[in-house]
Structure 1
């Protein structure tokens, strides 16, 4: 069984003070993951593609500056960046409204009750009821009986 680690409040306070006292790291030393870097360079990469460069050629250019990634990694990161950009634009352009949501809920309830009523009226296998409201035995489309497991409650 794993042991839960606990520390004194004094240890946490000392660690907090140590982190607070750290000097600012120079911007050129900050680590940036591929997705964030590609997102910030998306315009430049798209511009290079419009100039006729392939992703493989762009990857070679990146490798000359020490950024060694594969063409598939670049392709995936570009797709993600494009998708995130589109999602942000859609989110900014949409105005939240409660009317469609309540209308959708009402329509869903009506469809559900209609489906239950229709299912209750359907018959199969010589007039046997497929489903009856309040019944514990239900028949699906393949006429297998579905009964709830009530033995192990």
Structure 2
């Protein structure tokens, strides 16, 4: 069974003060996870891929710079970046579509239910909502 470690509050507070006093580390000396590193040079990696270089060849280039990255790690990091880019692109298309719908639909009146005389509430992402007035 694992031992739960605990330390006095004064030690944690001392650590907090020590961390507050640390100077800023230069950007070129800061460590990055593989996904963060791929994120920072994603455009260059995509250009190399478009030039015909394989992931293994990109790994060889990374090794020449002293970056030890495995095939699966690089593949995962690039896939995550591609998904992020795709989601951003998709969300910008959806927001553009919504703004076009809003401007075009703002000119028309909302439909009225002829049975109840109530306004029918509906948007592009939901189903029609009618007031329940039959059991009053």
Q: Give the TM-score category using the shorter length.
A: 0.5 to 0.7
CA RMSD after TM alignment:
3.0
- Structure 2 alignment gaps of length 5 or more: 103-121, 130-136
TM-score (norm 2): 0.61
Name structure 1 gaps, 5 residues minimum: 107-153
Partner of 1:85: 85
Where in structure 2 are the equivalents of 1:99-138 lying within 5 Å?
99-103=123-127
* Count of matched residue pairs: 105
Select the structure that is richer in strand: 1
**Structure 1 residues 15 and 46 mapped into 2: Cα distance closer, same or farther (>3 Å)?**
same
TM-score (norm 1): 0.55
Which structure has more relative contact order (CA 8 Å, sep 6+)? It is: 2
Q: How far off its partner does 1:23 sit?
A: 0.9
Cα distance change, pair 3–32 in 1 and its aligned pair in 2 (3 A): closer
Where 2:25 maps in the other structure, the secondary structure is: coil
Q: What secondary structure does 1:103 align onto? A: coil
